[in-house]
Amino acid sequence: MTRDDKFAAPADRAAAVADALIDAGRLTEEDLDGVQALEESLDWRNGTKVVARAWTDPEYRQRLFSDGTAACAELGFEGPQGEYIVALEDTPELKNVIVCTQCSCTAWPVLGLPPDWYKSPEYRARVVREPRRVLGEMGLDLPAEVKVRVWDTTAETRFIVIPRRPAGTEDWSESRLAEIVTRESMIGVALVELPKA
Amino acid sequence: MDGIHDLGGMAGFGAIDVEADEPTFHEGWESKAFRLNIAAIGLLGAYNADEYRHAIERMAPAHYLQSSYYDRVLTAVATLLVEKGVLSLADLERRAKGKLRLALPARDNAADGIVPPDAPRFAVGDWVRVRDIHPHGHTRVPRYVRGRRGVVVHVAPLFSFPDASAHGLPVRKESTYHVEFAATELWPDDERRGESVIVDLWQTYLEEGE
């Protein structure tokens, strides 16, 4: 293995590529800043609104499971890495979990850019082989009778898990419900829980 | 290619480290790497998303595992811009005041020889078997399902076949299928019940499973 110390640090390499493209007239600073608008629109909190709507509006829920792309677009969530979205329904008998074993694909418009743990070799290698153990380590112990389906994002479909609505939220508003939905629950490695009193 | 990126089912990895309230980017250069890649694909048209994925896969295994996610993105961007003749490696190294470790060169892909399917072949409920193929080029069929039998649970729209587009071959679209494999089919020596993996597979990867 080559010694690391003669290699440039990532910050210097990123600056070198950007400056070289700008000096060559291929890109401008404004072009790169223009990507910022896209970047800021990629927010996992968008997905919480999809989940809360699915919990409170039965007709929306139906549309979401028959055409996830259109149902997300209804709420304004569409764009790159969201060209074909499939929503996965958790039930008392079934837990859905999402992974991308070969890279780190996610439904950007509703899940945002993925967290490091999702991109880690540990998660990508293990969750397809031993999902119950991985979920248990992450704090979710599933009863043996609950079936687990792990969805590997290997082509162009992007997934979002619609977790179960917690008991005790029957009179909650949609916006209050959205606030308790977590990124982890929409990837499928956690349940949605009531905030601890 | 049977590379380090194809991690599904590999043993030896430890605990998953979840950071509470994790930000999208931890350092400024990570966001710069992301923006450069989006701009190089979308604005410059220097390469496509499949070439980008393949460039990451072509990183030597130790380099890949040592690099953080956005460092891999940055390595792919630099590799492709140098390979495409947009930038020169010498100039980048001069600017960065150090060496750049790029991904290894691409090998020929077998996709040229594969005849594209002319119509969707499978429907929901059909049993299929994944072809046991090992191309040297880019492919999106993970090792852990090759040769395995599963059932189609969903037919997705037509999408560009990545084994071709990652190697600059003309775009050819075909159906992708969500195929469900029982955990006991994938890892017969594990005694796991009530677990399955669904993998999204292009039609070319599949044959009839009866």
Residues 104-123 of B with CB under 8 A from A: none
Of A103, A120, A173, A175, the active-site residue reads: A103
CA distance A138 to chain B (A): 8
Domains and CATH numbers, chain B: 1-106 (1.10.472.20), 110-208 (2.30.30.50)
| Mean pLDDT of the B77-104 span | 97
Segment B131-160 shows an average pLDDT of: 95
Contact (CB, 8 A) for A178 and A48: yes
Which secondary-structure segment (H or E) carries B44? Answer: none
Distance from the Cα of A106 to chain B's closest Cα (Å) equals 13
> Which structure tokens are listed for A186?
């929409």
Q: Can you read off the two tokens belonging to residue B30?
A: 């990570």
Q: How far is A171 from chain B (nearest CA, A)?
A: 28
Would you write out chain A's pLDDT as a tens digit for each of its 197 residues?
455 568 999 999 999 999 999 999 999 999 998 898 889 999 999 999 999 999 999 999 999 999 999 999 999 999 999 999 999 999 999 999 999 999 999 999 999 999 999 999 999 999 999 999 999 999 999 999 999 999 999 999 999 999 999 999 999 999 999 999 999 999 999 999 998 86
The pLDDT assigned to B169 comes to 87
**Whether A101 and B8 lie within 8 Å, measured CB to CB:** yes
Query: For position A107, what pLDDT does the model report?
Result: 96
Q: Are B58 and B104 in contact (CB under 8 A)?
A: yes
Chain A residues closer than 8 Å to B78 by CB: 13, 17
Using a CB–CB cutoff of 8 Å, tell me whether A140 touches chain B.
Answer: no
Q: How would you classify the pairing of strands B173-182 and B149-160?
A: antiparallel
Mutation target among B1, B2, B16, B69 for the A interface, most CBs of A within 10 A: B16
Q: Is A105 a catalytic residue?
A: yes
What interhelical angle do B69-83 and A10-23 show, nearest 10?
A: 40
pLDDT band at B2 (very low <50, low <70, confident <90, very high): very high
Is the Cβ of A41 closer than 8 Å to some Cβ of chain B? no
Whether the Cβ atoms of residue B74 and residue B36 lie closer than 8 Å to each other = yes
> What does the alpha-carbon distance between residue A94 and residue A193 come to, in Å, rounded to a whole number?
17
**Which residues from A are below 8 Å from B36, CB to CB?**
14, 17-18, 21, 32
- pLDDT tens digits, B97-141: 999 999 999 987 767 677 778 889 999 999 999 999 998 999 999
- DSSP annotation of B98: S
- pLDDT above 70 as % of chain B: 99
Which ranges in chain A are annotated with CATH 3.90.330.10?
Answer: 43-187
On whether the A43-187 domain is CATH 1.20.210.10, my answer is no
Whether the per-residue pLDDT at B42 is higher than 80: the answer is: yes
What's the average model confidence in pLDDT over B76-105?
97
Tell me: the pLDDT tens digits for A103-123? Answer: 999 999 999 999 999 999 999
Average the pLDDT over B14-37 and give the result. Answer: 95
Of A36, A125, A156, the CB nearest to B8: A125
What is this structure's pTM? Answer: 0.96
The alpha carbon of residue B125 is apart from the nearest alpha carbon of chain A, in Å, by 17
In A, minimum Cα distance to B182 occurs at: A149
Chain B (46-105) residues lying within 8 Å, Cβ to Cβ, of chain A: 53, 56-57, 62, 65, 68-71, 74, 77-78, 81, 86-87, 91-93, 95-101
Q: Mean pLDDT score of chain B, rounded to an integer?
A: 94
**Which among B33, B62, B98 has the least Cβ separation from residue A7?**
B98
Contacts of A123 (CB under 8 A, 6+ apart): A99, A117, A134, B16
Q: How many Å lie between the alpha carbon of A143 and the closest alpha carbon of chain B?
A: 11
CA-nearest residue to B183 within chain A is A129
pLDDT recorded at residue A171: 96
- Residue A185 is a catalytic residue: no
Which residues of B are less than 8 Å from A117 in CB distance? 16-19, 22
Contacts of B192 in chain A (CB under 8 A): 132
Q: Which of A105, A87, A162, A99 is nearest to A130 (CA)?
A: A99
Is beta strand B173-182 parallel, antiparallel or unpaired with respect to A158-162? unpaired
pLDDT at A1: 46
